[in-house]
Structure 1
Amino acid sequence: MKKRIVGCDAAKTIAMFFVVMLHYSFYTRYYSNGLAGTVVTVMCTVCVPLFFAVNGALLLPRPLDVSKHYHKTLNIIIIVIAWKIIASMFFVFVDRSHPVTFKDFLIFLLGGNFGEYSSGYFWFMNALISVYLIFPIVKLVFDAKNQVAINTLLAVLFGFTVGKDTLILLFQMLGTVAHHDFASVLSPIGDYFVFGKYGYVLLYFLVGGLIGEYLVKRQEGRKWVCNLLACVSSKGKIVAGIVICYIATLLIQRYQHVVNGTSLTVDNGYWLLPTFIAVLLILFALGKASFSDHCARFFYFTGANTFGVYMLHMAGLICLSKVQELSVFQVMGTMNSVALTIANVGLCICVYVVCLGISVLLRKIPYLRVLFSL
C-alpha cells in the first residue's frame, strides 16, 4: 500500500509540473513557437488526465463513508470559493489588465471565467467537484459484483470521448488528403452523450481506479484488467509504449499546426487515444515502481502540496510575465528555439519551486492552512 501511495504522489508531482509548464507557454512573454517548444509542451498533454486517474486510483479501491465523503466535498466547494475570491482580488488589484463587473464575479464563483482574465484553470476544480458529487453512484458501479455495470459504463464513456474524438481526428486527416469534410458526419453523435463535457474526466477517474485496485490486490483484481496490465508488465514495454504515444501525439500536433494553425498544444489532446494510453502506462509504471527513502520523502512532500501549487501557479506566471518586461529579459527574444526552450524550462522550474515554497510556508500558519488542506 505504501508503494502505491508514493507512486501516486510521484504522478501528482509530474502532472503538476506539466500543468505549470503548459500554462507557462501561454501566459509568459517569451516562449518558442517552434518545434523545440512544441516538443516540450506536447509532453504536458497528460497533465490533467493524470490528475483524475490518480484521484480514481486513490479513492475507488477504498471503502466509502458517504457522510464523510459529502462533508469532504462541501469543504472542497468552500475552499475553492475562497480561492476564487483570492484570485479575483489578485486579478483586480495586481494584474489590472482587464475591466470586470460584479456579474463577472458571480459567474466566476458559479464556475465560469472571470471576465477576460486567465482564470480558466479553475475548471479543473469544477470538474473534480462534479465527479465527487456523483462519486457514491460511481462507487456503487465500481464495487458491483456484476461486471456488466462497470464494463457498460466504461464502454459508453470511452466511446463518446476518447473513441469519438480519436475517430473524428482520423476522419479529419482522411478529409485533408481527399479534400472532403468527412469529420462533420460524426458531429451529431455527441447529442447522445448524457455525461456532457466532463465525460472524459469520469473515464480517467474510473480507469485510474481499476489500476489502483490492481496495484493493491494484484491477482485478486478484475481478470480482464490483470490480463491487460500483464501485457505491459516489463519496464521496457512500458517505456516503449509511452514513447510511441508521445511520438503519435507530437505528429498529431504537427498535423493540427499545418491544417489549423494550432501552436504549442493539441486540440482535444486530453481525450485522444495516445494520451489515454500514455496516462494509464505512466500511472501503472509509477504505481508499481520502487522508490528509495529519499525519493519517497521528496514525492510525499511535493504530492502533499500539489493543490497549493495549482492554486498559486497562475499568479506566479502573471508576476513573472510582468518581471519579463525588464530589459534584462530582452535577451530571451534573441535566442534560437532550442536555447529559448531550455531557458523557459528553467524559469518554469523556478515558478514551480517558488509556489511550492509559498504553499509549504502558508500551510504552517493557523487558519490559512485550511486553504491548502485538499
Structure 2
Amino acid sequence: MRPRERLVYLDLIKVVAIYLVCFYHFNDLPTDVLANPSFFTYLNYAVKGMASAGVPLFFMVNGALMLNRSYNLRKHIHKIIMICILTVVWGILTLAILIPINGDSYTPVQFAKALIEWKMFRINHLWFLQTLVCLYILFPLIKEIYDKDDKGPLYFFFGTAFLLTFGNVLLSNIANTAEWVMKVNYLEKNYNFFNKFNVFNGFYAFSIVYFILGGWLQAKLQDNRFRRPGSPVLTGIILTALIVLLGYGIIMSQSNGEVFDTVFDGYDTLMTLIVTAGLFILSSRYKQGKSPRLSKGMEVIGSNTLGIYFIHVIVGWFTLPYYKLLPFSTNLLANLIYGAAVLILSLGVVLLLKKIPVVKLLFRL
C-alpha cells in the first residue's frame, strides 16, 4: 500500500465507529430490561449493543494503516508523547468546560483527583487514548514480527493475546451463563482464570487482537487474497452475533440484578469481535467512485475523528438536557438521529477551532 494512499472505505469505517461512539455516550433510550422488560426495551437494548463495535473499529483501522506501511521510530516515539500530552490536556479542558454545563464543583485538590482518576461520566472516555498509547509502545515489536517471512512468532503472539483476553472472557461467559442456569452467582462479570500467568492483565489488551486483525485483513483485502463473504451472509453473521450478545446481556442482567452494559463490557467478547470484523469486511466493499460527494464527506469526518472524539463529550453534555425535553426523546429513531446530530455538531466545532492557529494544535498528532 502506498504511504499516502487514502482508502475511502477506511474513512467509512471511521465514520461508523465515531457515530457508534456518539450514539452510545449520548442517548435517552429506555434500556432497563429488568424494570421494564417490554419488546421495545429489548429492541433498544439490542440496538445499543451495536455500539460495542465502535471503539474496536478504531483499533482495527489503526492496525490496518500502521502495520502495512513503513514507519520511523523517532517519529513514532514523538507521536506517543503527543498522544500522552493531548490526553492530559483534553482531560483538564473537558473537566473545566463541563463545570458550568453540569454544575460540577471542585476544590483544586478534587479537580486534580478527578483528573488522575479519569472521572466517570466526565473524562473516562479518554481510556481509548490511554490504550492507544499502550498499543503504540508495543507497536515496534508487533511490527517486527508482523513483517517477518516466518509468521510463527506473529501467530504465537496473536494466539496468546487472543487466549488471554477473548479466551479468558469466553470462559467467564460460559461460567456466568452456567451460574444463571443454576441460579448461583459466585463471579461478577469477568474473572481472570489465568491469574498471574496472564501477561496482558492490567490494560485493555483485547485491543492488540483488533489491531493485528485489522492489519491482517487490510493486507489480504489489498492483495485480493481474501474472499469476502457475500453481503447477505456477512449481515446474517453480524446479526447472529448481536443476538447472542443480547442474550448474554439479558442473562447477566438477571443474574447480577443490574443492567449489563453490552457495549463497554462487550468489547472483549467473541460476539463483538465477530460484529467488528464483519463490519470491517462489509465496509471494504465500498468503492471510491460510487458517490464522490459522499466519499468527500466521509473523508472530512474520517480525517477529524480524533477532534470529534475530544469534542463530542462537551457537545453531548451541553445538548442532552435539551434533547430530553422533547416528547419523543425516548424513541429509537429519534435517538439514532440525535447520535448523528452530536457527531455533526462536534465536527462543526472541530472545523471552526482548527482555523485558530494555536488551538488547532489540540487536534493534531
Q: Is the 8 A contact 2:14 2:305 kept in 1?
A: yes
Q: Is the 8 A contact 1:41 1:265 kept in 2?
A: no
2:253 aligns with 257
Asked if 1:37 corresponds to 2:47, the answer is: no
1:235 aligns with 231
Over residues 215-262 of structure 1, what are the superposed CA-to-partner deviations in whole Å (9 max), with x where a residue is unaligned? 22333xxxxxx4xxx3x4322322221121122212222222322244
**How does 1:117-266 map onto structure 2 within 5 Å?**
118-180=122-184, 187-196=192-201, 197-219=203-225, 226=226, 230=227, 232-263=228-259, 265-266=261-262
**SS at 1:118 equivalent:** coil
2:36 aligns with none
Amino acid at match of 2:352: L
Amino acid at match of 1:87: T
Query: Which range moved further: 82-91 or 298-307?
Result: 82-91
- C-alpha displacement of 1:287: 2.4
1:74 aligns with 81
**How does 1:227-306 map onto structure 2 within 5 Å?**
230=227, 232-263=228-259, 265-266=261-262, 268-291=265-288, 292=290, 293-306=292-305
Q: Is the 8 A contact 2:23 2:338 kept in 1?
A: no
Distance of 2:19 and 2:314 partners within structure 1 = 15
1:8 aligns with 10
- C-alpha displacement of 1:330: 5.9
Over residues 24-68 of structure 1, what are the superposed CA-to-partner deviations in whole Å (9 max), with x where a residue is unaligned? 13xxxx432222321321111111111101110111111121112
1:222 aligns with none
Amino acid at match of 2:150: N
Query: Which range moved further: 53-62 or 289-298?
Result: 289-298
Amino acid at match of 2:339: C
2:69 to 53, 62, 65: 62
**SS at 1:169 equivalent:** helix
Distance of 2:323 and 2:107 partners within structure 1 = 25
- C-alpha displacement of 1:124: 0.6
- C-alpha displacement of 1:149: 0.6
Q: What RMSD, in angstroms, separates the aligned Cα atoms of the two structures? A: 2.5
1:84 aligns with 91
Q: Is the 8 A contact 1:46 1:275 kept in 2?
A: yes
Asked if 1:343 corresponds to 2:334, the answer is: yes
**SS at 2:267 equivalent:** helix
Q: TM-score, normalised by structure 1?
A: 0.85
**SS at 1:113 equivalent:** coil
Distance of 2:153 and 2:273 partners within structure 1 = 21
Distance of 2:184 and 2:257 partners within structure 1 = 19
- C-alpha displacement of 1:148: 1.3
Q: Which runs of 5+ in 2 are unaligned?
A: 32-40
Q: Is the 8 A contact 2:23 2:339 kept in 1?
A: yes
1:223 aligns with none
Q: Is the 8 A contact 1:13 1:299 kept in 2?
A: yes
**SS at 2:29 equivalent:** coil
Distance of 2:293 and 2:99 partners within structure 1 = 42
Distance of 2:333 and 2:356 partners within structure 1 = 36
2:313 aligns with 314
Over residues 265-295 of structure 1, what are the superposed CA-to-partner deviations in whole Å (9 max), with x where a residue is unaligned? 3172001111111111211222243242222
Distance of 2:94 and 2:168 partners within structure 1 = 35
Question: How many aligned positions are there?
Answer: 349
Q: Is the 8 A contact 1:4 1:288 kept in 2?
A: no
Distance of 1:187 and 1:179 partners within structure 2 = 22
Q: TM-score, normalised by structure 2?
A: 0.87
Say if 1:23 and 1:117 are closer, same or farther in 2 by CA, change over 3 A.
Answer: closer
Q: Is the 8 A contact 1:200 1:271 kept in 2?
A: yes
Amino acid at match of 1:58: L
- C-alpha displacement of 1:181: 5.6
Say if 1:193 and 1:298 are closer, same or farther in 2 by CA, change over 3 A.
Answer: same
**SS at 2:204 equivalent:** helix
Distance of 2:344 and 2:146 partners within structure 1 = 37
Bigger fraction of residues in helix: 1
**SS at 2:284 equivalent:** helix
Q: Is the 8 A contact 1:12 1:50 kept in 2?
A: yes
Distance of 1:330 and 1:279 partners within structure 2 = 33
Q: Is the 8 A contact 2:57 2:276 kept in 1?
A: yes
